[in-house]
Structure 1
Amino acid sequence: MIAVPDPEQLGNIENIVSLTTGQYTTGSLILMVSYGAHFAFMLYFIMMSFQPAPRYRIVPILSAVVMASAGLSLLREYTLWQESYQFVGSMYLPLAEGETFTNAFRYGNWTITVPILLTQLAIAFALPRPELHVRSLRMIVPALLMIWTGLYGQFGEAGDWSQLNFWGVVSTLFFVWLIVEVRGVVKRGIALSPEPLKAWPSNIWWYFLATWGLYPIAYALPQLGFTGEVVVVRQLLYSIADVSSKLVYGLILSRYVLCRSAIEGYVPAAEALDTHPEASAIAASRGD
C-alpha cells in the first residue's frame, strides 16, 4: 500500500491542489511570459549600456545580469510546473510521477538579484565610492535576511500557519529595516541629482514600495484556501512583482543615468535623447 504524504510535508500548495485546464494553462503562460520577458530585455540592456557615460554603464549592464539570472530561475519554475502536473480525466493533478513543485528557486534567484538591484540604486545616484560601499552593504544585509527567513517560512504554506506567519513577520521586520536604508539612499539621490532630475529619486522610492509590497501579499495568499484560483493568482503576483521590480526598475534606472549623462555633457547620451521629451529639459539645464 502506498502511503499518502502529509500535505504539510509537501511544502508548497501547488503540490496539493488540482487545477482546471484554464488554471493550468494560465499558470503556464504566466511563467512563460515572465522568463521570456527577462531573456528578451537582457539583450536590450546590453545594447543600451553603450549610451550612458562610462561611469554609469554598469547600471544597464547589471540589469542585463539580473535579466539572465531571473530568466533562468523562472525557466526552471516553468519546467517544474510542466513536469509536476498530469492531465487525468478533466483536471491537472499535482505530483505527476512523484515530481513536486517549489517556489524555492525564486528565493534562490532573489538572493542573487536583490543585492544587485540595491547596489544599482546607489551607483545610479552617483554616491561617492566609500559611501556607496557602506550604504550598499547596509541595504544588502536586511534584504538577504528578509529573503532567507521568508524562504524558511514559505515551507509552512501547505498548512503550518504558525511557521508561515511567524517567519513572515520576521521577514517583514527585515523588510522595514531595508525600507529605512533605501530611504536614506533615496534622500542622498535627491541631494546629488541634477536639478532637472530631482523628482526621479522620489518617484523611484514610491515605485519601490509599490512593487516590492506585492511579495508579502503573495507570500500570505495560501491562507485564503487551497484552491486553483489561489495558486494561479499567487504565481501572477510573484511574476508581476518580478517583472516590475527587476525589468521595469532597470528601465527606469537606465533612463535616469542616460538623462544624467546627457546633463553632464556626454554627447552620445544627448544624441540618444534628442527625439525624446527629456531633451528639452536637459538642453535648458545646460543653457543650449
Structure 2
Amino acid sequence: MSTPYANIESLVSLTDAQFHTGSLILMVSYGAHFAFILYFLWTQKDLAPRYRLVPLLSALVMASAGLSLLREFSFWLETYQWNGSLYVPAEDGTTFSNAFRYGNWTITVPILLTQLPLAFALARPEIRRRAIRMSIPALLMIWTGLVGQFGETGDFTQLNIWGLISTLFFVWLIVEVHGTIRAGKAASPAPLAEFPDKLWWYFLATWGLYPIAYALPQLGMTGDVVVVRQLLFSIADISSKLIYGVILSRYLLRRSALEGYLPAQQALGDVPATGTAGR
C-alpha cells in the first residue's frame, strides 16, 4: 500500500552533503536550460531560413524545461529542514514531487520529436505525419509513467506494472523515431549521411536514462538513491533537450553551408566574413 507521499524525497533524510549535492544538480539543470535560450536564439541567424524554426523550438523547450526545473529546485528547498545533524522532511507537511517533470515532458517531448523531421527537411505532409506518429506513443509513455511513479513509496506493484506499460509505449516510440531517422538519412546531403545513424544511437543512450531513474527507488529509500535519481533525471534532461538541440543546430549549420547559404559558410569559417548577405 503506497503512502500519501508520492515520491521518496518526501520521506528520506539527507546528510548535509546529499542535500547540497541535490540542490546543486537542480540549480545547474535549470540554469543551463535558461542560459541556452540565448544560444539558440543567437545561432539560428546563421541558418538558412527554412531551418530556423528548429533552434527556435529548442529555445522554447529550454524555457519550458528551465521553469519546470526551477520549480523542482524550489520544492527541494521547501521539503527539507535542518535539525542540527540531518536535513529531514519538513514538519509542515511540504512534500517533493517529480510529477512536475512529467508535466514538462508532456509539453517538451512532442516538440523535440517534431524537430527531427523538420531538421531533415522532409516534405510538409511527411513532417506532420511523422510528428503525430511519434508524439502519440511518447505521450502515452509519459502519462503511464506518471501513474506508475506514484507507487514508488509502497510495495512497487504500481511502479512496476505501469512502468512495464510505459516501456511498451517507449518501444513503439523508438520504432517510430527509427523510421523518421531512416527517412532523414535518405534526405540528408551525402557529406552528412552518417549523422542520422549517430543521432539514433545518441537517442537510445540518452532517453534510456529515464527508465533507470524511474526504477531506482527499488534499490532502497536512502539519501544516495534520492540524489542519484535527481542526477540521472538531470543528465537525461540536459542531454536529450539541450545537447540534442545543439547537435541539431550544428547539423543544420553544416547543411545550410552545403546548400550555399553564405552566413552558414562564414560561421563555419569556410569563407571569409565580408558583410555580404547570404542567399
Structure 2 CA distance for aligned equivalents of residues 241 and 95 of structure 1: 28
Matched, 1:153 2:148: yes
Contact 1:84 1:94 in 2 (8 A): yes
Does the 8 Å contact 2:99/2:146 carry over to 1?
yes
Are 1:223 and 2:218 an aligned pair? yes
Out of 103, 114, 123, the position equivalent to 2:118 is 123
Query: 1:51 touches 1:258 (CA, 8 Å); kept in 2?
Result: yes
TM-score by length of 2: 0.95
- Name 1:28's counterpart in structure 2: 23
Deviation, 1:160, is: 3.4
**TM-score normalised to structure 1 length:** 0.93
Show the counterpart of 1:112: 107
2:260 aligned counterpart, secondary structure: coil
Runs of 4+ residues deviating >2 angstroms: none
The runs of 5 or more residues in structure 2 that have no matched partner are: 272-279
Partner of 1:69: 64
Q: CA deviation at 1:142?
A: 0.2
- Tell me, in whole angstroms, the C-alpha distance in 1 between the residues paired with 2:38 and 2:95: 32
d(CA) in 2 for partners of 1:224 and 1:55? 48
Matched, 1:242 2:237: yes
- 1:213 has 2:208 as partner: yes
Counterpart position of 2:227: 232
Alignment partner of 1:11 is 2:2: no
Q: Residues 176-215 of structure 1 correspond to what in structure 2 (within 5 A)? A: 176-215=171-210
Provide the C-alpha distance between the structure 2 equivalents of 1:269 and 1:189, rounded to a whole number of angstroms: 21
Q: Which amino acid aligns with 1:239?
A: S
Name stretches of at least 5 consecutive residues in structure 1 with no aligned partner: 1-5, 281-288
Distance 1:92 1:134 in 2: 50
Q: What code does the residue aligned with 1:138 have? A: R
Shift of 1:51: 0.8
Q: State how far apart, in whole Å, the 2-side matches of 1:47 and 1:121 are.
A: 20
Identical pairs, percent: 69
Q: Provide the rounded CA distance (Å) in 2 between the counterparts of 1:96 and 1:181.
A: 47
Match of 1:78, as an amino acid?
F
Match of 1:103 among 98, 102, 119: 98
Structure-2 separation of matches of 1:160 and 1:79? 29
Amino acid at match of 2:152: E
Offset at residue 7 of structure 1 (A): 6.1
What is the Cα deviation at residue 98 of structure 1?
A: 1.3
Q: Does 1:170 align with 2:165?
A: yes
Shift of 1:96: 4.1
State the AA in 2 paired with 1:40: A
What SS class does the counterpart of residue 14 from structure 2 fall into? Answer: coil
Aligned pair partner of 1:270 in 258, 265, 271: 265
Alpha-carbon distance in 1 for matches of 2:188, 2:261: 16
